[in-house]
């Protein structure tokens, strides 16, 4: 599921007994725009968006033979190219033909393909021909059972290795009953494996997975919402206590440098009503991975890991500027050297957990304390990159490192200014991996 099935959650599911894990839906355009990087620091393989250095997909050897990457697409050629980008690092490719969200439907992706079977088949055929690994698709059922079976037969003829069926229509939601008899009819009609999906309301314990499999007559079962709330549903010997699951998840999140907003979102889905407790409220106020880890007694573990990873972040984001080799970037760097108050440094949000720690806030307070004019920021944008210059006490300060958004760029220029004001020393900046 989107925002849930990132690497830490996939690894947690494998730890607890899942046989196969799917990625969140990744759009073909973004995958095509990625370059592949072997990440020695994390012992991972990263697919990084060339335009803004965002890690679109991160995987590792632990899941290589178990992970299926799901693509959102509406075009055979793009789908094939996207699949080829990741082919060597995943066990299979899945084409999403079941997502009912407006974003997918308006783009002709997801469940929209159910109503354009020729295009759906063209996409599957293109991907099957383009890669040497198994290709599957995930669908929702149509209103009529016979129409659904006929569609599945057509899709199966493209050469896909399996079809996953969610037993609800495009307009139905979890409160509606799953049409298990539809899935059973499909399973009986096809010669390839059929994966049953949509049974989360019925699955409370591991034994319920087996019951769902038997009711639908399928070869296997896919679980989403139930696993999202308690990933230990895959354990044959019974579910674990929630806080144990969260700690297990956080270790993976720290080990693979998962971003704080995504980590927080996944834990929120686990906590549910427990968010009303004191610990839950402190969790909701957290803004960094370190703060989250502190609540589950993993703060020291997180801090040790993140010092090493800060250098990695700098390297990854710096690649974007270097690869683009833009004249504008080069001329801007030359201009900075003319006034000298420039450093190549990066803003890392996790280093400033409290609002008063933020470089811009610290610089503002320094100005007030010393009766200086307030700092003024000027930010320029080039494509998806930003660089800011702060004017303070008749001097200009800027980082030659281009950031991914305006806020970060302004914080970066404030860091440079604070260095020249001797608030931040060089050792502090090097130690935290923010200086290039």
Of the candidates 34, 60, 99, 266, the residue annotated as catalytic is 99
Q: CA triplet 66, 68, 74: central angle to 5 degrees? A: 175
b/e map 283-307, b = 16+ CB within 10 Å: beebbbbbbbbbbbebeebbeebbe
Say how far apart CA 96 and CA 103 lie, in whole Å: 13
Per-residue three-class SS string for the chain: CCCCCCHHHHHHHHHHCCCCEECCCEEHHHHHCEEEEEECCCCEEEEEECCCCCEEEEECHHHCCCEEEEEECCCHHHHHHHHHHHHHHCCEEEEEECCCCHHHHHCCCHHHHHHCHHHHHHHHHHHHHHCCCCEEEEEECCCCHHHHHHHHHHHHCCCCCEEEEECCCCCCCCCCCCCHHHHHHHHHHCCCCEEEECCHHHCCCHHHHHHHHHHHCCCEECCCHHHHHCHHHHCCCCCCCHHHHHHHHHHHHHHCCCCHHHHHHHHHHHHHHHHHCHHHHHHHHCCCHHHHHHHCCCHHHHHHHHHHHHHHHHHHHHHHHHHHCCHHHHHHHHHHHHHCCEECECCCHHHCCCHHHCHHHHHHHHHHHCCCCCCEEEEEEECCEEEEEEEECCEEEEECCCECCHHHHHHHHHHHHHHHCCCCCHHHHHHCCCEC
Q: Is-catalytic flag, 164?
A: no
CA distances to 22, 251, 299, 340, 410 from 334, in Å: 47, 43, 42, 10, 19
Q: Which residues are annotated as catalytic?
A: 99
């Amino acid at each position: 599921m989107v925002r849930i099935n990132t690497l830490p959650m996939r690894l947690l599911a494998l730890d607890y007994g899942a046989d196969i894990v799917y990625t969140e839906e990744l759009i073909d355009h973004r995958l095509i725009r990625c370059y592949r990087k072997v990440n020695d620091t994390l012992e991972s393989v990263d697919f990084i968006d060339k335009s803004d250095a965002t890690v679109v997909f991160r995987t590792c050897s632990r899941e290589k033979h178990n992970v299926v990457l799901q693509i959102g697409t509406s075009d055979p050629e793009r789908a094939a190219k996207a699949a080829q980008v990741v082919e060597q690092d995943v066990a299979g490719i899945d084409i999403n033909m079941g997502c009912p969200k407006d974003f997918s439907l308006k783009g002709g992706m997801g469940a929209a393909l159910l109503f354009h079977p020729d295009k759906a088949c063209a996409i599957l055929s293109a991907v099957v021909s383009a890669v040497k690994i198994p290709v599957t698709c995930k669908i929702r059922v149509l209103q009529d059972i016979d129409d659904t079976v006929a569609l599945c037969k057509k899709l199966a003829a493209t050469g896909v290795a399996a079809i996953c069926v969610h037993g609800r229509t495009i307009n139905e939601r979890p409160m509606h009953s799953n049409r298990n008899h539809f899935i059973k009819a499909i399973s009986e009609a096809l010669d390839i494996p059929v994966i049953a999906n949509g049974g989360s309301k019925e699955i409370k314990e591991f034994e319920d997975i087996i019951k769902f499999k038997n009711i639908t007559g399928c070869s296997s079962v896919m679980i989403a919402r139930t696993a999202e709330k308690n990933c230990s549903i895959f354990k044959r010997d019974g579910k674990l206590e929630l806080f144990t699951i969260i700690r297990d998840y956080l270790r993976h999140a720290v080990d693979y440098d998962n971003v704080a907003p995504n980590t927080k979102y996944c834990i929120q889905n686990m906590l549910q009503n427990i968010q009303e407790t004191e610990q839950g409220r402190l969790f909701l106020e957290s803004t960094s991975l370190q703060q989250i880890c502190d609540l589950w007694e993993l703060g020291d573990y997180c801090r040790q890991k993140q010092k090493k990873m800060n250098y990695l972040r700098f390297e990854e984001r710096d690649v974007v500027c270097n690869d683009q080799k833009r004249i504008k970037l080069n001329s801007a760097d030359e201009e900075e050297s003319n006034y000298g108050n420039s450093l190549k440094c990066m803003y890392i949000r996790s280093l400033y957990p409290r609002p008063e720690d933020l470089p811009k806030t610290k610089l503002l307070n320094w100005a007030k304390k010393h009766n200086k004019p307030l700092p003024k920021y000027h930010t320029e944008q080039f494509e998806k990159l930003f660089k800011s210059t702060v004017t303070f006490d008749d001097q200009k300060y800027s980082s030659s490192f281009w950031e991914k958004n305006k806020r970060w760029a302004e914080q970066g220029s404030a860091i440079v200014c604070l260095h020249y004001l001797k608030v931040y020393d060089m050792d502090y900046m090097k130690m935290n991996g923010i200086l290039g």
